[in-house]
């Protein structure tokens, strides 16, 4: 049974205005990390604020462990929800020490007990020796962990994270992400995370919900959503793709690139998603292409560190291919193109 359930949630900030959240439904299992992923303005932070109780839905219900937090005739105040939140800017109290920041949410406990609990949480997060420091004397990563300790200390049923890694540099972001996930999993915390970073969501979450215009476009494990996107929007948002119209005949489809194997089944007119890494480029040194290779022209090359992205012209289309950075191809070069992966069948109309 889900711990947290959002059912047909909607919110408009102005009467008659565009819905910030529009009939959104989502469930989160106990101990699960779920990421809300999408472009700016898609409603992901508003959804987090609805769960926290900072906004009141115009329609729909929010249920936590069988208790209705928001719904027709019901609205539970934020401080009574057993929901913790770490804000994007951490929102630490600058005039309080690290220890005082963490004990702030434990006012119902005797002082000694509150301090002991706060120190234990700081130790778990690697900040056991920083209790007396002021927030301004900490690095961004340390401030983030203090904010996390403050949110976790009261023992919330659900922890909400709003772009928790956005202010960290790329190297620190990766290491912090791994450590934070380890701590949250060790505590069995249920997490709802907001991010616009695809790599972050895929690395950190057990499941992710890709949002668009206030609605969930697709939800599933990172592997499932990436390998089998339902729509062109999801395919483009998660790592980019090539869209190809085709005619399906079971496990394959006829396209300008030839007969392509597909994930699942394809029947009739279809629109396919072919990831850039599902294509392979090699230099064309012969006058005639051999095997199943097609002739292509390299239009541009973009170096990306561990890989390079090539834009090519082939079969009357422009395609993006992700390959090894040492591949000796530049704009204007001839190349051979091979399909080495399977295409996904999208729900979008091919017309």
* Full pLDDT tens readout for the chain, 351 residues: 899 999 999 999 998 889 999 999 999 999 999 999 999 999 999 999 999 999 999 999 999 999 999 999 999 999 999 999 998 888 899 999 999 999 998 988 999 999 999 999 999 998 999 999 999 999 888 898 899 999 999 999 999 999 888 877 777 788 888 888 999 999 999 999 999 889 889 999 999 999 999 999 999 999 999 999 999 999 999 988 999 999 999 999 999 999 999 998 999 999 999 999 999 999 998 755 455 679 999 999 999 999 999 999 998 999 999 999 999 999 999 999 999 999 999 998 776
* CA–CA distance, 295 with 318 (Å, rounded to integer): 13
Which structure tokens are listed for 331?
């704009």
Q: What gap in Å lies between CA 230 and CA 214, rounded to an integer?
A: 17
How many Cβ atoms from other residues are within 10 Å of residue 330's Cβ?
A: 10
Strand order in the sheet with 242-255: 242-255, 258-274, 344-345
Residues 6 or more apart in contact with residue 45 via CB below 8 angstroms: 162, 194
The tokens describing 68, both together, are 């209705």
- Give this prediction's pTM: 0.90
DSSP H or E stretch at residue 259: strand 258-274
CA distance 96 to 99: 8
């Amino acid at each position: 049974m889900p711990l947290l359930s959002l059912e047909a949630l909607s919110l408009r900030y102005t009467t008659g205005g565009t819905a910030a959240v529009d009939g959104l439904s989502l469930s989160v299992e106990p101990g699960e990390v779920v990421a809300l992923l999408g472009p700016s303005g898609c409603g992901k932070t508003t959804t987090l604020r609805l769960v926290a109780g900072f906004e009141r839905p115009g329609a729909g219900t929010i249920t936590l462990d069988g208790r209705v937090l928001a719904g027709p005739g019901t609205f539970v105040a934020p401080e009574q929800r057993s929901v913790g939140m770490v804000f994007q800017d951490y929102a630490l109290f600058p005039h309080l020490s690290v220890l005082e920041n963490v004990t702030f949410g434990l006012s119902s406990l005797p002082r000694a007990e509150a301090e002991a609990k706060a120190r234990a949480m700081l130790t778990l997060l690697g900040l056991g020796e920083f209790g007396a420091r002021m927030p301004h004397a900490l690095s961004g990563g340390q401030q983030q962990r203090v904010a996390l300790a403050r949110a976790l200390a009261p023992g919330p049923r659900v922890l909400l994270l709003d772009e928790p890694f956005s202010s960290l540099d790329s190297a620190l972001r990766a290491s912090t992400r791994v450590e934070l996930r380890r701590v949250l999993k060790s505590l069995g915390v249920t997490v709802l995370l907001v991010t616009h970073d695809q790599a972050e969501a895929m690395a950190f979450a057990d499941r992710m919900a890709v949002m668009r215009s206030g609605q969930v476009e697709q939800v599933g494990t990172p592997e499932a959503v990436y390998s089998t996107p339902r729509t062109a929007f999801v395919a483009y948002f998660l790592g980019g793709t090539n869209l190809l119209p085709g005619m399906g005949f079971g496990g394959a489809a006829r396209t300008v690139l030839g007969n392509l194997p597909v994930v699942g089944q394809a029947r009739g007119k279809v629109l396919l998603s072919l990831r850039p890494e599902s294509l392979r480029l090699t230099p064309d040194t012969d006058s005639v292409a051999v095997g199943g290779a097609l002739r292509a022209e390299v239009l541009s090359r973009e170096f990306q560190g561990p890989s390079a992205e090539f834009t090519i012209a082939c079969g009357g289309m422009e395609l993006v291919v992700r390959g090894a950075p040492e591949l000796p191809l530049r704009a204007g070069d001839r190349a051979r193109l091979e399909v080495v992966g399977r295409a996904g069948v999208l729900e979008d109309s091919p017309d």
